[in-house]
Amino acid sequence: MKDKTLFVSGGTRGIGKAIVYAFAKEGCNVAFTYASSVDTANEIIADIEANYGVKCRAYKLDILEPNTYKDVYKEFDEDFDRLDYFISNAIISGRAVVGGFGPFMRLKPRGLNNIYTATVDAFVVGAQEAAKRMEKVGGGSIISMSSTGNLVYTPNYAGHGTNKAAVEAMVRYAAAELGEKGIRVNAVSGGPIDTDALKAFPNYEEVKAEVVRRSPLSRMGVPEDLTGACKFLCSHEASWLTGQTIVIDGGTTFQ
How many helices and strands, by DSSP H and E, does the chain display?
9, 7
Residues 6+ apart with CB under 8 A from 113: 100
pLDDT at 93: 81
Give phi and psi for 247, each to the nearest 5. Answer: -95, 125
- How many C-beta atoms lie closer than 10 Å to residue 188's C-beta? 25
Task: Measure the CA–CA gap between 135 and 78, rounded to whole angstroms.
Answer: 18
Per-residue pLDDT of the chain (255 residues; tens, 9 = 90+): 999 999 999 999 999 999 999 999 999 999 999 998 899 999 999 999 999 999 999 999 999 999 999 999 999 999 999 999 999 999 888 888 899 999 999 999 999 999 999 999 999 999 999 999 999 999 999 999 999 999 999 888 899 999 999 999 999 999 999 999 999 999 999 988 888 777 776 678 888 888 889 899 999 999 999 999 999 999 999 999 999 999 999 999 987
Please name the residues in contact with 148: beta carbons below 8 A apart, sequence gap of 6 or more.
189, 190, 191, 192, 247, 249, 252, 253
Catalytic positions are: 157, 164
Task: Identify the pLDDT of residue 204.
Answer: 80
- Write down the CATH number for the domain with range 5-248: 3.40.50.720
Residue 216 DSSP label: T
Q: In terms of C-beta distances under 8 Å and separation of at least 24 residues, what long-range contacts does 50-55 make, across chains too?
A: 51/24, 52/24, 52/25, 52/27, 53/27, 54/24, 54/27, 54/28, 54/29, 54/30, 55/29, 55/30, 55/79, 55/80
> Which amino acid is located at 233 in the chain?
L
Q: Quote the pLDDT of residue 195.
A: 81
If 0-12 CB within 10 Å is exposed, 13-18 middle and 19+ buried, where does residue 51 land? exposed
Cα–Cα distances (Å) from 143 to 97, 205, 245, in that order, read 23, 30, 9
120 and 174 Cβ atoms separated by less than 8 Å: no
The residue count of the chain comes to 255
pTM of the predicted model as reported, rounded to 2 decimal places: 0.95
* Torsion angle (degrees, nearest 10) of CA 72, 74, 76, 81: 160
- The H or E element containing residue 70 is helix 69-79
